């Protein structure tokens, strides 16, 4: 991310915050028909604000914003951040969930023996990994 | 766009095109639309579409919020605001969230299907694995769609229910008004976001029969509620009448036999044109074209044929007069002439004193 983009993302965040404020105000009114449509003017204003910062869509802006968050943590991409979390979690304890084949119809995982449970091992974050995740969550989104 | 948006399918079709969708197939009244994200939507252009958006939180509220306190408020926008407002789960635990919808207003028509939409993204560790499934909640029971993977960028996901899964029969407007729609997250993926939820109800409406329509029966709607609904795939005959409520009568297109067809023909006779085959009164609609069971022919011709006695010849008014006026039936076989001439010939004036005798 170049220096120009580093300046544009904070401006885009201001536009998003303005939309969120308008959104809150909209829903503070008693419920009435037409609320979904009333989102559109502030949303268009948001899109106009992002366009001024050369972001052509919400997805483009939020992608750049996340990239800035990750770079501020010292990584170049989300995958690099995840690799670091995995590295920190090597040797970590796992919580194990026992799932049967019927539980896995949705997972895409091939389970050959329906009578034996499948172990889903979910790592329990080490302190280092937990710190990294929490640091990311503290970032603006 | 309102929480309840009623559109004809043609209007819906145009709106989607304006929103960037593409029409990838159009044949007759059947169209297939493709959203910018690749979502496929089949459409019958003869019907209408009702779009419902959440107006309150449902039975389940187990997801987290990007802001505020109301779940539905983060997913009710007409145009998706993506990561500006959304609900999410960022753990490896099952979890449901559901929403209610405003009253449909019970528009006239038969519900063809209900489709639930959610705009989701999966930023978890396995975006290629199945992450969640849509469900409808009816009378306290959840009825699920299928598990699906949710991509790493926002995408519309949907599931359609052609019939009410709680009753295994057609949807009713009461069921629509009581409907909850929700999302069920699996354990594999650690973070899913939803930014928009809505429901589309496809239904048919009754429209007046136009001259280009084919088929017979009571297609036409005179006024008000659907007086009659005409579907094209049913079998059977006659008037399948309802005792009360609307529609009062339903006639199916593939039916054979008579019944309402005949009644309809009586009520709206068509004038015979000069180039039509057969004889009869041209250009004068009449209501007398009733055929008896054994009669052949049709319309006015048959009526006239019935009025003729077997030995009579001739057509139309002449023959009718012959039968109706008994005196004219008393022609002797040897008499010459027809009609009034013969009648005159039969009259014999009383003669006295060698008066005049008109026999000649």
Say how many C-beta atoms besides its own lie within 10 A of residue B12's C-beta: 24
Condensed to tens digits (0 to 9), the pLDDT of residues B274-325 reads: 676 665 555 544 444 444 445 454 444 444 444 444 344 444 344 334 333 4
Residues B214-233: b if buried by 16+ CB within 10 A, e if exposed: eebbbbbbeeeebebbbeee
Q: How far apart are CA B188 and CA B210, in angstroms?
A: 56
What pLDDT does residue B271 have?
A: 58
CATH no. of B4-204: 2.60.120.260
Number of folded domains that form chain A: 1
Residue A101 has pLDDT above 70, yes or no: no
A91: containing domain: 3-137
Would the ipTM clear 0.90, i.e. be above it?
A: no
Give me chain B's average pLDDT, please.
70
Which residues of chain B form CATH 2.60.120.260?
Answer: 4-204
pTM value is 0.63
DSSP state of B321: H
B242 pLDDT higher than 80: no
Contact assignment for B78 to A141 by CB distance below 8 Å: no
Q: Tens digits of per-residue pLDDT, B83-133?
A: 999 999 988 778 899 999 999 987 888 999 999 999 999 887 666 666 788
**Which residue in chain A is spatially nearest to B184 when comparing CA positions?**
A106
Residues in chain A whose Cβ is within 8 Å of chain B: 16, 19-20, 23-24, 27, 31, 33-37, 39-40, 43, 46, 58-59, 62, 78, 82, 97, 99, 105-109, 120, 122, 141
Phi/psi of residue B147, nearest 5 degrees: -65, 140
Taking CB atoms and an 8 Å cutoff, what residues of chain B touch A58? 81-84
Q: Give the CA distances from residue B65 to residues A81, B53, B85, B87, B287, in Å, rounded to whole numbers and listed in that order.
A: 24, 18, 8, 5, 70
Encode pLDDT of B324-334 as tens digits: 344 334 444 44
How far is the C-alpha of B74 from the C-alpha of B77, rounded, in Å? Answer: 8
């Amino acid at each position: 991310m170049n220096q120009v983009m580093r300046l544009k993302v904070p401006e885009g965040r201001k536009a998003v915050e303005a939309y969120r404020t308008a959104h809150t105000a909209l829903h503070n009114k008693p419920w009435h028909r037409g609320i979904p449509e009333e989102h559109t003017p502030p949303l268009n204003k948001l899109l106009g604000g992002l366009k001024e910062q050369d972001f052509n869509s919400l997805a483009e802006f939020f992608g750049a914003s996340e990239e800035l968050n990750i770079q501020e943590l010292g990584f170049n991409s989300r995958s690099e951040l995840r690799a670091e979390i995995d590295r920190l979690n090597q040797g970590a304890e796992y919580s194990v969930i026992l799932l049967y084949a019927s539980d896995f119809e949705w997972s895409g995982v091939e389970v050959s023996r329906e009578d034996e449970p499948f172990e889903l091992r979910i790592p329990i974050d080490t302190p280092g990994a937990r710190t990294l995740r929490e640091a990311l969550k503290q970032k603006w989104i | 766009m309102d929480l309840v948006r009623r559109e004809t399918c043609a209007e819906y079709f145009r709106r989607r095109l304006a929103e960037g969708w593409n029409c990838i197939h159009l044949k007759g009244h059947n169209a297939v639309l493709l959203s910018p994200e690749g979502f496929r939507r089949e459409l019958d252009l003869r019907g209408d579409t009702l779009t419902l958006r959440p107006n309150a939180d449902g039975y389940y509220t187990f997801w987290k919020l990007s802001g505020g306190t109301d779940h539905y408020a983060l997913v009710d926008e007409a145009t998706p605001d993506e990561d500006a407002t959304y609900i999410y789960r960022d753990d490896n635990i099952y979890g449901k969230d559901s929403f209610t919808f405003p009253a449909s207003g019970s528009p006239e028509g038969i519900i063809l299907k209900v489709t639930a939409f959610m705009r989701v993204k999966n930023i978890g560790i396995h975006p290629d694995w199945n992450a969640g499934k849509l469900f409808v909640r009816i009378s306290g029971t959840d009825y699920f769609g299928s598990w699906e993977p949710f991509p790493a960028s926002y995408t519309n996901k949907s599931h359609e229910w052609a019939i009410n899964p709680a009753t295994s029969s057609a949807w009713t407007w009461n069921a629509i008004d009581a409907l909850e729609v929700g999302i069920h997250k699996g354990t594999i993926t650690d973070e899913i976001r939803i930014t928009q939820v809505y429901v589309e109800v496809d239904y048919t409406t009754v429209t007046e029969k136009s001259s280009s329509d084919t088929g017979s029966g009571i297609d036409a709607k005179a006024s008000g509620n659907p007086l009659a609904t005409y579907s094209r795939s049913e079998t059977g005959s006659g008037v399948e009448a309802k005792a009360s409520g609307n529609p009062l009568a339903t006639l199916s297109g593939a039916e054979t036999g008579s019944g309402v067809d005949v009644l309809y023909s009586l009520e709206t006779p068509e004038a015979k044109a000069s180039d039509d085959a057969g004889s009869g009164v041209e250009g004068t609609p009449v209501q007398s074209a009733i055929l008896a069971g054994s009669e052949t022919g049709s319309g006015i011709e048959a009526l006239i044929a019935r009025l003729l006695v077997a030995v009579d010849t001739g057509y139309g008014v002449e023959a009718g007069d012959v039968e109706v006026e008994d005196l004219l039936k008393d022609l002797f076989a040897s008499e010459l002439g027809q009609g009034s001439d013969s009648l005159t010939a039969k009259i014999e004036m009383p003669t006295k004193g060698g008066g005049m005798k008109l026999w000649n």
